[in-house]
A and B are shown apart, each in its own frame.
Chain A
C-alpha cells in the first residue's frame, strides 16, 4: 500500500475571464515548483490554496488537516500556512521586528502533534537579518525586504509554505545572494513548500517536484528530473534542455584536484569543490553538452563518460534530434544531429556511451 498523499487539492477558481481547474495529489513532496508562462494560473493556484480566492465546491487537504471540503471552508487566518507575496508586502507601519513578531505572536501553538514553534532567533539567524531588526521597512534594500518577508512567513510556524516568485524583480546579484538562504531554509524546514517561479534556474536548484501549468490547467506533475526530461513536455526542448542528477560526493583526487561524484549510472569527476565525503549534491547536464558514441572512447579529453540506454528520440528541428537516455535509472538528455542518429543507428534500446562535456554543480 502506498502512503496517502501529503497534499490533495481540487481547485476550481474563476477570476474575471480566467479560470483555474486543477487537481493535485502530491506525495511527501519537499519543494514543489509551480511552473508555467505568466497567466498560466500559478499565482491563482497559490491564492486558492491559501484561501484568498473562492474555490466553490473544491477540496483541499494538507497533511491531516482538511482546509476545505465543499462548503466547509477553513478561513485564511485559521490555515497554518506561510505566504510570501510577490512584492514582499511588508507592513509599513511596523519595524522589521514588528513585522516578524506579527506572525510569530500568532503562530500555530506547539503541542504534541505539531513541531514546536521555530525559535525567533533561529530563523532570524538563518536568513541573516539580525542587524536589520530595529530598522523601519522603508530603509531596506530589495533583497533585505524579501528575506524579512520570508522570515515573517516562516515564523508563523506553517504546515505549508507558499512562495510567489520571492526573487522576481531583483537584479542578478541580489538573487544569487538570496537563493542560498532559501536553500538552507527549505532544507531546515520539514514542511512542503510551493514555489512559484518562471525562472528555470531557480526551479532547477530548489525544486523536488514540478507542476507544469498552462492556461489554468495542469499539464503534468512529477519529480523534477522526470519532468525536465520528458520529451512530450516543452521543458525538455530548446537550448536550455537539461537533466538534473542527484549524486553523492565519493571522494577527492588530490593529484589532479578533482572531486568524485557517484550517481546510480556511474561516477563523475569535476574540478575540486570543498565538499565533505557523503554530501548529497545536485548536478545539471545540458542536453547540448552530451554527445554519444558506440564504443567507450579512451583517447578523448572528456572525463565523464558513462554507459546508457536510448529510451526515446524526438525531432528537435530538421537537423537535430533530442535523445532521452537511461543511465542506471537516471534520465539524461542528449542533443545530436539527425545525421549522427542515422550514422550510429540510434533507436530505443540501443546501448551507447554518453560523454558529458560539462557538468554544473547546483548548490
Chain B
C-alpha cells in the first residue's frame, strides 16, 4: 500500500515530531515554570513571543527561518564558523523550525498546569524539608502530569501536521526533509489521489486519536483537582 519513499516520509515525520517534542518538553519546562511564577514586567512580552507561532502564517516563520539558516544568515554563518554546512534543507533545520513552530503548544499547557498547582503545595513541601529541586521533581512535576501529557500530545500532533514551515525551509528531499504533509501535497500535485488518500486518512486518524487522549486525560485531571 505505501511505497518505500512514503514509508521514509512516515518514519521521518515520526522522528521529527518525537525529537521536537522531547526538545520542547526539556526547554519548555523551565520557561513555563518561570512564566507561571514570575511577576516580572517582561512576562507579557515573552508570553506574546511564545504565542506568535499560533497566529503567524507559517510561510512568514518559514521565510525568516530560511534566511537565518541559509549560508548568509546568522545561524548559517555560525554553522560555517564551526565548519558545518548550512542548515536550510536539512533535518536539523527542520527540527529547529518545528521547535519554534510548536513552542506554544507545549509551553502553554505546561504554564497553565504549573499555575494551577499554585504556591501552596510547594510551600508545604519546603516546610517538610524538601529543597527547591526536590520540590520540583517530587511535587510540581507529578502534580503537573496531565499538563505534560497534553503538552506532549499537542506538540507531537502539531509537528506532525506542519506544512508551511517545512515547505519553506526543508523542501521535499525524500528521507531528509520530505515529511508526510509534503508527501501528500506532492501526490496531489501529481494527481495521485489514491496515494494521497492513504496518507491523509492515516494522519486524520492519528490526530483524532491523539486529541482523544488529551481530552480523556483532562477529564480525569478535572476530577482529581476537585479534591
Enumerate chain A interface residues (CB-CB to B < 8 A): 50-52, 75-83, 85, 87, 89, 91-93, 102-103, 106-108, 136-138, 152-153, 156
Question: Whole-angstrom distance between the alpha carbons of A166 and B226 in the complex?
Answer: 21
By a CB distance below 8 angstroms, the chain A residues around B226 are: 138
B128 and A50: CB pair below 8 A? no
By a CB distance below 8 angstroms, the chain A residues around B222 are: none
- Which B118-154 residues sit within 8 Å CB-CB of chain A? 120-121, 123-132, 134-135, 138-139, 142-143, 145
Shortest Cβ gap from A225 to chain B (Å): 31
Q: Does B45 contact A (CB under 8 A)?
A: no
Enumerate chain B interface residues (CB-CB to A < 8 A): 120-121, 123-132, 134-135, 138-139, 142-143, 145, 224-227
Residue in A108, A137, A153 whose beta carbon sits within 8 Å of that of B127 in the complex: A153
A85-B124, A89-B121 known; A107-B143 Cβ under 8 A? no
A91 and B139: CB pair below 8 A? yes
A93-B143, A137-B227, A138-B227 known; A76-B120 Cβ under 8 A? no
A76 and B138: CB pair below 8 A? no
Residue in A75, A79, A89 whose beta carbon sits within 8 Å of that of B124 in the complex: A89
A102 and B128: CB pair below 8 A? yes
B121 and A81: CB pair below 8 A? no
Question: Whole-angstrom distance between the alpha carbons of A152 and B121 in the complex?
Answer: 13
A76-B127, A156-B129 known; A89-B120 Cβ under 8 A? yes
By a CB distance below 8 angstroms, the chain A residues around B120 are: 85, 87, 89
By a CB distance below 8 angstroms, the chain B residues around A137 are: 227
Shortest Cβ gap from B74 to chain A (Å): 41
Which of B121, B131, B227 counts the most A-chain CB atoms under 10 A from its CB? B227
B121 and A91: CB pair below 8 A? yes
B126 and A76: CB pair below 8 A? yes
A93-B143, A137-B227, A138-B227 known; A77-B126 Cβ under 8 A? yes
Question: Whole-angstrom distance between the alpha carbons of A184 and B21 in the complex?
Answer: 53
B224 and A106: CB pair below 8 A? no
A83-B124, A138-B227 known; A93-B142 Cβ under 8 A? yes
B128 and A103: CB pair below 8 A? yes
Question: Whole-angstrom distance between the alpha carbons of A260 and B156 in the complex?
Answer: 78
Residue in A51, A52, A87, A106 whose beta carbon sits within 8 Å of that of B128 in the complex: A106
By a CB distance below 8 angstroms, the chain B residues around A138 are: 224, 226-227
Shortest Cβ gap from B139 to chain A (Å): 7
Shortest Cβ gap from A53 to chain B (Å): 10
Excluding A78-B129, A91-B139, A92-B227, 6 further A-B contacts by CB distance (< 8 Å) are A75-B126, A77-B127, A77-B129, A93-B139, A93-B143, A138-B227
The chain A residue with its CB closest to the CB of B120 is: A89
By a CB distance below 8 angstroms, the chain B residues around A93 are: 139, 142-143, 145
Question: Whole-angstrom distance between the alpha carbons of A51 and B124 in the complex?
Answer: 12
Shortest Cβ gap from B146 to chain A (Å): 11
By a CB distance below 8 angstroms, the chain B residues around A107 are: 129
Shortest Cβ gap from A12 to chain B (Å): 20
By a CB distance below 8 angstroms, the chain B residues around A79 are: 127
B130 and A106: CB pair below 8 A? yes
Question: Whole-angstrom distance between the alpha carbons of A156 and B127 in the complex?
Answer: 9
Q: List 30 A-B contacts (CB under 8 A).
A: A52-B126, A76-B123, A76-B127, A77-B125, A77-B127, A77-B129, A77-B130, A77-B134, A77-B135, A81-B127, A82-B127, A85-B123, A91-B121, A91-B125, A91-B143, A92-B143, A92-B224, A92-B225, A93-B139, A93-B142, A102-B130, A102-B138, A103-B128, A103-B129, A106-B129, A138-B224, A138-B226, A138-B227, A156-B127, A156-B128
